[in-house]
Amino acid sequence: MYAAFLFSLGSILLTADSSMHERPVESVRYKPGQGLLVESADGDFSLLTRLRAQMLYSLDKSDEWTQAFEIRRARLLFSGTVFGQHNKYKFELAVSPKDIGLEVGQGLTRSPLLDWYFVFDHLRDATIQMGQFKVPYSRQRVVSSGALQMVDRSVVNQEFNLDRDLGINVQSANLFGLDLFRYWAGVHMGEGHSSHTKGDFGMMYLGRIEYLPLGLFSDYSESSFHKESTPKVSIGLGYGLVEEAKGNRGILGPVPSDGGTTDTQNVTADLSFRYSALSLESAYFWRKGTRNPGAVVPIEAARDGSGFYVQSGYFVFSKTELVTRYGQIIPASRESSLNERSELGLSVNHYFAEHAMKIQGDIHQFWGGVQEFENGDTLMRVQLQVAY
């Protein structure tokens, strides 16, 4: 990885056009669903500006029925190229109350800075990405919240994902140009989203590979919009090691009650399938933690366990889709601090302009043990998304 980084960095220094003279603008055009694009005549500079909002109404029954109407997500994105077509960037702000973790009596708990990273793709097989971004560990977490088939991701993914962090990756979106393989290898700070202070040397190390035996396709956008005429499949395998993790879910979750840290090993395998109007998404997760307990007793057990979900969608009409999902979280043993949890959901989606403008309605049941389905939590939601 280190040699690939040095080689790629050398290519950046040799090929980047750092001259500061003015560049004439070749075009200013609007791309529906993507935003306003400004490009220089030589292609070395570009700026795409995009807005996205999700408005969500929900009915939730746990002990009693409650309701909420909220702006679930409010995003402002800038992306493009700078000093050369192979020097790319993305800057995204998230400003809704939930985006920034607004808590009554606590104020803001997260920075509105969602992503800021650079991608240097001078070398197809050793592309460099650096900054704050989604850790490329689990597929559904990397899929944009605006490109999901259901209102939100699976509770299984929420439990086991590795979220966002500051770091650097070496990767390839099309290894060897064969339209068959992708890979990512990265080192991250292990402090998570909104980290800005000095920390220890507990890092996060990541590796992921993907195999697409039937060729590349849009597997990082859920739903089968393109109605593939032949089957397409993407198989992914990821591993993450988080040393001295501060949260009980790695770089996520509260600090363990004893005040210590946890070394966690994380493994995931996932699948994405498309054919005609049918889509299928599935993933398996496994996590094993070794506690470094703090001074407080009793010592909190590691959140060891596994989980899986299966999600399938089908377009019953040209723009209307039915989606169903089942997921389960399974503690490794009675000693694990992870709780058993299951989900079963059904969604009806109508796409006015694919994911750029859609309305989604879903109903989910969440429960603990096998006999607790009827006493579980019921959640019903309707969400409108517009991106432009």
Q: What are the tens digits of pLDDT across the range 47-93? A: 999 999 999 999 999 889 999 999 999 999 999 999 999 999 999 99
Model confidence band, residue 14 (pLDDT cutoffs 50, 70, 90): low
Task: Give the pLDDT mean for 24-33.
Answer: 91
Output the pLDDT for position 110. 87
Buried b (16+ CB within 10 A) or exposed e, 302-340: bbbbbbbbbbbbebeeeeebebbbbbbbbbbeeebbbeb
Output the average pLDDT for the chain: 94
pLDDT tens string 181-221: 999 999 999 998 888 888 889 999 999 999 999 999 999 99
Output the pLDDT for position 43. 87
Domain residue ranges in the chain: 2-387
pLDDT tens string 127-168: 999 999 999 999 999 999 999 999 999 999 999 999 999 999
Look at 107-116, 166-175, 184-193, 272-281 and tell me which has the smallest mean pLDDT.
107-116
Is the pLDDT at 363 greater than 60? The verdict is yes
Output the pLDDT for position 9. 60
**Phi/psi at 290 (5° precision):** -115, 115
Determine the 3-state secondary structure of 155 from DSSP.
helix
What global pTM score does this model have? 0.92
* Protein fold of 2-387: Porin (2.40.160)
Model confidence band, residue 26 (pLDDT cutoffs 50, 70, 90): confident
Buried b (16+ CB within 10 A) or exposed e, 23-51: eeeeeeeeeebebebebbeeebbbbbebe
CA–CA dist 282, 317 (Å, integer): 24
Determine the 3-state secondary structure of 141 from DSSP.
helix
Is the pLDDT at 175 greater than 60? The verdict is yes
Determine the 3-state secondary structure of 173 from DSSP.
coil
Element (H, E) at 207: strand 204-211
β-strands 305-315, 65-81 pairing? unpaired
User: Could you count the other beta carbons within 10 Å of the beta carbon of residue 159?
Assistant: 20
Is the pLDDT at 106 greater than 90? The verdict is no
Model confidence band, residue 23 (pLDDT cutoffs 50, 70, 90): confident
